Amino acid sequence: MLREDLSRNFGFLLNDVARLLRTVYDRRIRKLGLTRAQWWVLTHLFRGDGVSQTELAEILEIEKPTLGRLLDRLEAKRWIRREHDARDRRIWRVHLTEEVEPALRTMRAIAAELRRDALAGLSAAEREGFVDTLLTVKANLLRGQASPRPENAVRRRLR
């Protein structure tokens, strides 16, 4: 059996770091009484307020009914509101409300503290280079999603 040292494997390492960031953030944000799913929804709305429920479900990679229940709970807290799209009444747009602002400020402060802790020991230039590298990797993957390489198409046809 082939053995490979995965301790420096890019995919495993990136996954481990992302999991640790979520886990530590969960622990630190617990005082707000939010589940991971709820803070993840709020974070994505903070990033792009007014997205449709369908778009949000796709971004979060969850089923629409699951998202609907999450939104119901956040709406009960008066942290989000849903409005019909101005051009297509079948589409619901999700917006943050003013009532969520104190929670968002706390969430952002905790996230900033976590990023600072995670990047401790790196110079400002190293932090910027690290983020630049991640942006390049992301762009490469997005580009690969949009136009599959011809050799991959050939391999898929041969299967």
pTM, two decimals, is: 0.78
pLDDT in tens, the chain (159 residues): 777 888 889 899 999 999 999 999 999 999 888 888 999 999 999 999 999 999 999 999 999 999 999 999 999 999 999 999 999 989 999 999 999 999 999 999 999 999 999 999 999 999 999 999 999 999 999 998 876 555 544 444 444
Contact 95, 50 (CB under 8 A): yes
pLDDT tens-digit series, residues 3-36: 788 888 989 999 999 999 999 999 999 988 888 8
- Which architecture characterizes domain 14-118 according to CATH? Orthogonal Bundle (1.10)
Token pair of 92, please? 């619901």
